Amino acid sequence: MTLILALFAAVSVASPLLTRWLSTRVFYVIALLPAAVFGITLAQTPTIASGGVIEEKIEWIPQLGIALTSRIDALGWLLALVVTGVGALVLVYCARYFDADEPGLGRFAGLLLAFAGTMYGLVTSDDIIVMFMYWEITSILSYLLIGHYTGRKESRGAALQALLVTTFGGLVMLVGVVMISSFAGTTSIASIVSEAPQGAGPTVAILLILVGALSKSAIVPFHFWLPAAMAAPTPVSAYLHAAAMVKAGIYLVARLAPGYADIPGWQALLVGLGVWTMIVGAWRSLRQYDLKLVLAYGTVSQLGFLMVITGFGSRDAALAAAALLLAHALYKATLFLVVGIIDHQAGTRDWRKLSGLWRSTPSLFVITAIAVASMAGIPPLLGFVAKEAVFGAFVEAAIEGDFWGWVALVGTAVGSVLTVAYSARFLWGAFGNRKKIVPTELHTDGWGIQFAPAFLALATVVLGIAVPLLDPLLALYADTVPGEGHYHLALWHGLEPALFISAAVLVLGGLLFWRRRGVARLQEKVPPLVDASRGYWAATQGVDRLSAKITIFAQRGGLSQYLSTILVVFVLALGLTATLGRTWPSGIRWFDSPAQLVVAVVMGIAAIAAALAKQRMTAVLLAGVTGFGMVGLFALHGAPDLALTQALVETITVVVFVLVLRRLPVKIAQHNKPEQRTRRLIIGVLVGLVMGTIGLIALGARQAPSIAAELPRLAYEEGHGRNIVNVMLVDIRAWDTMGELSVLVVVATGIASLLFVSGRAKALPRLSGSRNQRRADNRRNVIDDPQTTEHPESVHRQSWLLGGLKVSSENRSVLLEVLVRLLFHPAIVVSVFLLFVGHNSPGGGFAGGLLAGLALVFRYLAGGRYELGEAAPIDPGKVLGVGVLLAVGTAIGSLFFGGEILQSAYLEADVPVLGHLSIGTSSIFDVGVYLVVIGLTLDILRSLGAEVDRQQEDTDLEAGTDDDFTPAEVRP
């Protein structure tokens, strides 16, 4: 069964593509899948008939006891047949319903098929959590399918209504699902029902689940979304909103009834609301001009009917419920499909515009008449059998003096009278003659479109007559409901009360239809008691406005305002908790070493000075001092890796800061008028105090021994490395590093895309003919490049760097050029060294990559962007990509050798200079880290360095100035 669901998913995904090749014929192809599943389910009938179940279990999240369990028993079998059978027919119908140029056809096909698969999953799943997931997926698919006509307002409005209402119910249901699975100690629905936990808790849980079922099945007060959902294409209405999705709520009630029908509130809730829904729906159905809305309100009414009988909780009622569920699916799907055909061929669904259809399309008339008769409960159709069974069950209960039995009997009888009336109205409206209207012309395009409704109508007849064959199968479900019961589904039970009720219902319904004008006038006088859709409107608008009010209240002002709010909340919440703290450190030392005190004092002074500094550049450098102070702290503390990394990072950070700040107008830095200094000071001091206290409390709170004790052994024996920090990064906690690498790639890409407006792939500018230029005798030649301003004086100077020729002489430093020339290559060699020895000594991919990046930074600083282009003539995106590929490749590579993800393998060897090396897959992972860090630095340099230079030069050319430190004139 999991295989079937996987197939559904695969074909759904492929559907849009198939639609491109096959156009509307795609529906025939994808209909094969539900049809095949229908066949499979039918083939399972002997097992079901002998009282067996078909089970399959695949563990999913064993820690939570959640498994992909499917379990087909009699009820699941019935629903699976309905879902796949109607699904296949509706798909076949779609092939004729849609034109080839229908927009979004591929998406529609995929969604509808996915829906069929999800419904199948829902009714066969035995795990209540998994079932809930299918439940929510159907809500989302329903949203997408109702909103098929994305350009229409009513389509979008209806889709959103349906989604909000059903997911609201779903959310309530989720609470109930979690509660009941925890009370029952299992997620298996079969066990939850057969060993139903007792007490107030489980009762509340079940009632919460029922809220979900009621919203899904459009029961008052949630009913209004269903008529609105008729904005969907008709096949969707026929399938989702008549046969399948709205039945999910009924199915769930039917599923739970054997275990929980006797809990307090169950019967009152389901029978009470069901009766109300049945009457309200039918009442409104009688007032509709739109044929589809006649059916929609009729469906609301019938769902109420189904809810009453399903939730009633006796054995006979359960039998009647199963029969009615099947009958309703067959006739209501038929009628929706018929409305679709009329709409398609006549161009309207408004019966006031239709006339004489019974003569122009007699076959459709016959199909409709059968379905309508089944809906009204006329023998010998399935609808009649089901309704007889319903009345039989209620009469039985009413005779025994059951109050809810009487409510159900009277309520459903009244509802049935109205049902007969609107059934007649539908048939007469769709096919009757109108005196003042010329017979409607139909654009018939073949009989193919009538296949699906004809098939369903035939099933209604055949199953009505062959109901004795169906009876034992449905009774298998009914027998799971506790209580006595001996009823059998049959066409003829003798002259019983139920038969007289049925007859009376038909007569009264006919009378209502005959006196329809009087009824209409009466209806006009009865004001609507509750208009739930207006209530929905008020509720959603209220929530919207409330959220707007809160946002306006809380988010008035800019970023500093929000930060202040967050920080004040932080201080209040954590500060308050901190004052109540009872865990203090076991002892306080003044400092670890005198040097630590010195470094800390310097850092503290630098931090305060940075806060007070007027000049921005000064503040950056002072912040840098605190960063380098960290290096000192790390070095003193026995953290060489951190010291190395921090030193490299701090250097690059300061350089990058300066690169950007030099470009921003100098004035910004000067007129930085301090605002609200007192407020900022108070918040700053409070946050500092709270953080200090939290630090102390955290230190005291640490009582369990550190996991560090095991790490040396793990690193050395399992990770083949002596440097624990590096082994943890590339092996023990490699998952974490993978996450970090992806952050770095995102950051690098983000920076590049922020600066390169026209596209990131653009390579850095290189000197034209750079290969030639490298020859010593060519060094003095002028390089023509229209991209930059020329600096003629540079021609006559010897440059130590190739790109230096492009830098104006006042911006050049011979000292820097010489240093970079001498140190670049050694630096790269050392970076590679750091990369490879990192496993055993301080170093590793991060430090190595940062050092190589720093070397590039200085290349750029000394020689400008052309020098950078010469130094690294490669797209940083490729460096990043190769890095990630190496890391991910190592991670999943082990899977191919039967290992776990990120498991390492090793090869040891003695290498001159580097010493004893253990080259493992984790080293390859570290190479990936190395490349990603280089790629990031390169991207930063290229963007914040080279591209900023270029943009500046562009501006300077326009403004006619070439002073690097004069802000560009603001262009109008």
Partner 1 sequence: MTASLTLVVLMAVMYGTGIYVMLERSLTRLLIGFLLVGNATNILIFLMSGPSGSAPIVTGTAADENMVDPVPQVLMLTAIVINFGVVAFILALVYRSWWLAQLGDEGDTLTDEHAGETEASTEAAFAAVDEDDLAIQQVLDASNEHGDTDSDSGPIEDDPEAREKERR
The footprint of partner 1 on residues 654-693 (CB under 8 A) is 656-657, 660-661, 663-665, 667-668, 671-672, 674-676, 679-681, 683-685, 687-689, 691-692
Out of 7, 14, 23, 156, which residue is the one contacting partner 1 (CB under 8 A)?
156
11-50 positions binding partner 1, by CB under 8 A:
none
Using CB under 8 A as the binding rule, whether residue 918 contacts partner 1 is answered as no
CB 220, CB 276: distance < 8 Å: yes
Q: Is 437 in the site for partner 1 (CB under 8 A)?
A: yes
Q: Does 639 sit near partner 1 (CB under 8 A)? A: yes
Residues facing residue 916 across a β-bridge: 910
Nearer to partner 1, 161 or 419 (CB): 161
* Ranges within 88-107 binding partner 1 (CB under 8 A): none
* Nearer residue to partner 1 within complex by CB, 410 or 608: 608
Between residue 509 and residue 568, which ones bind partner 1 under the rule CB under 8 A? 516-517, 520-521, 523-524, 533, 537, 540-541, 544-545, 548-549, 551-552, 555-561, 563-564, 567
The partner residues of 919 in beta bridges, in order of sequence, read 907
Q: Does 737 bind partner 1 (CB under 8 A)?
A: yes
CB 838 within 8 A of CB 923: no
281 HSE (CA, 13 A, CB side): 37
Total binding residues toward partner 1, as defined by CB under 8 A: 164
Would you count residue 914 as binding partner 1 (CB under 8 A)?
no
Q: Is 158 in the site for partner 1 (CB under 8 A)?
A: yes
Vertex 957: Cα angle to 954 and 961 (nearest 5):
120
Phi, psi of 147 (to 5 degrees): -85, 25
Hey, which residues does 188 pair with through a beta bridge? 127
Near partner 1 by CB under 8 A: residue from 186, 808, 841, 894: 841
**696 binds partner 1, rule: CB under 8 A:** yes
Nearest distance, CB of residue 104 and partner 1, angstroms: 17
Q: Considering the rule CB under 8 A, would residue 585 count as an interface residue with partner 1? A: yes
By CB under 8 A, is residue 748 in contact with partner 1? yes
Phi first, then psi: give them for residue 45, nearest 5 degrees. -55, -45
Is 623 a binding residue for partner 1 by CB under 8 A? The answer is yes
Residues 941-970, interacting with partner 1 (CB under 8 A): 943-944, 948, 951, 967, 970
Q: Please, which residue, 341 or 802, has the CB nearer to partner 1?
A: 341
Which of 43, 50, 198, 435 is the binder for partner 1 (CB under 8 A)?
435
When binding is defined by CB under 8 A, the residue of 604, 769, 873, 915 that contacts partner 1 is: 604
Site for partner 1 in 322-381 (CB under 8 A): 348, 350, 352-353
Q: Is residue 431 a contact point for partner 1 (CB under 8 A)? A: no
Tell me the closest approach of the beta carbon of residue 392 to partner 1, in angstroms. Answer: 35
Between 201 and 528, CB nearer to partner 1:
528
Q: Report d(CA 759, CA 288) in Å as an integer.
A: 58
Task: Name which position in 413, 511, 578, 620 contacts partner 1 (CB under 8 A).
Answer: 620
Whichever of 672 and 787 has its CB closer to partner 1, that residue is 672
Interface with partner 1, residue 840, by CB under 8 A: yes
Nearest residue (CB) to partner 1, 16 versus 881: 881
Name which of 766, 762, 563, 747 is nearest 656 in CA terms: 747
Distance separating alpha carbons of residues 970 and 972, to the nearest angstrom: 6
CB closer to partner 1 out of 211 and 643? 643
For partner 1, give the closer residue by CB, 13 or 660. Answer: 660
Q: Which is nearer to partner 1, 126 or 641 (CB)?
A: 641
Return the range that interacts with partner 1 (CB under 8 A); candidates 63-71, 415-423, 742-750, 910-918: 742-750
Q: How far apart are CA 323 and CA 383, in angstroms?
A: 8
439 binds partner 1 (CB under 8 A): no
Q: Is 576 helix (H, G, I), strand (E, B) or coil?
A: helix
Within 446-505, which residues bind partner 1 (CB under 8 A)?
none
Q: How far is the CB of 348 from partner 1 (least distance, A)?
A: 7
Contact (Cβ atoms closer than 8 angstroms) between residue 376 and residue 298: no
Of the candidates 872, 846, 847, which has an alpha carbon nearest to the alpha carbon of residue 945?
872
Q: According to CB under 8 A, which one of 140, 178, 269, 607 is a site residue for partner 1?
A: 607
768 C-beta neighbours (distance < 10 Å), count: 12
CA angle 42, 47, 52 (to 5 degrees): 130
For partner 1, the closer of residues 10 and 914 by Cβ is 914
Q: Establish if 608 lies at the interface with partner 1 (CB under 8 A).
A: yes
- Of 158-166, 376-384, 398-406, 461-469, the segment contacting partner 1 by CB under 8 A is 158-166
> Quick one: 102 or 350, whose CB is closer to partner 1?
350
Structural contact between residues 412 and 308, judged by C-beta atoms closer than 8 angstroms: yes
The one segment of 201-209, 274-282, 598-606, 797-805 that binds partner 1 by CB under 8 A: 598-606
Q: Single out the residue of 480, 473, 365 nearest to residue 426, CA to CA.
A: 365
Structure tokens belonging to residue 775 = 């020859």
DSSP state of 802: S
According to the binding rule CB under 8 A, does residue 637 interact with partner 1? Answer: yes
| Cα Rg of the chain, angstroms | 38
H or E, element range at 664: none
Q: Which of 31, 119, 246, 649 binds partner 1 (CB under 8 A)?
A: 649
Q: Contact 159/146 with Cβ under 8 angstroms? A: yes
What residues from 219 to 258 belong to the interface with partner 1 (CB under 8 A)? 227-228, 231
* Long-range interactions of 240-243: CB distance < 8 A, separation 24+: 240/115, 240/138, 240/141, 240/142, 240/145, 241/142, 241/296, 241/299, 241/336, 242/295, 242/299, 242/328, 242/329, 242/332, 242/333, 242/335, 242/336, 243/82, 243/83, 243/86, 243/90, 243/329, 243/332, 243/333
Cβ closest to partner 1, residue 161 vs residue 423: 161
d(CA 403, CA 414): 17
Residue 773 within binding range of partner 1, rule CB under 8 A? no
Binding mask 279-318 vs partner 1 (x if CB under 8 A, - otherwise)?
-----x-xxxxx--x-------------------------
Shortest distance (Å) from residue 954 CB to partner 1? 11
SS3 911: strand
Query: Sign of the CA dihedral 867, 870, 875, 879?
Result: negative
Q: Which pair of structure tokens corresponds to residue 828?
A: 């790269």
Q: Is 919 in the site for partner 1 (CB under 8 A)?
A: no
> Can residue 695 be called a binding residue for partner 1 (CB under 8 A)?
yes
Dihedral, CA of residue 124, residue 130, residue 132 and residue 134, to nearest 10: -60
Q: Does 442 bind partner 1 (CB under 8 A)?
A: no
CB of 599 to partner 1, least distance (A): 9
Using CB atoms within 10 Å of the CB of residue 89, give its burial: 0 to 12 exposed, 13 to 18 middle, 19+ buried: buried
Nearest approach, Cβ of 668 to partner 1 (angstroms)?
Answer: 4
Name the token pair of 679. Answer: 């407020």
Q: Does 586 bind partner 1 (CB under 8 A)?
A: yes
Position among 138, 940, 946, 949 found at the interface with partner 1 (CB under 8 A):
940
Task: Please give the DSSP secondary-structure letter assigned to residue 946.
Answer: I
Cβ atoms of residues 840 and 906 within 8 Å: no
Residue from 144, 417, 728, 868 in contact with partner 1 (CB under 8 A): 728
Among 469, 490, 504, 698, binds partner 1 (CB under 8 A): 698
433 three-class SS: coil
For residue 638, count CB atoms less than 10 angstroms from its CB and return exposed for 0-12, middle for 13-18, buried for 19 or more. Answer: exposed
Q: What CA dihedral angle connects 532, 538, 541 and 547, to 10 degrees? A: -110
Per the CB < 8 A criterion, the answer to whether 803 and 868 are in contact is: yes
Choose between 194 and 540: whose C-beta lies nearer to partner 1.
540
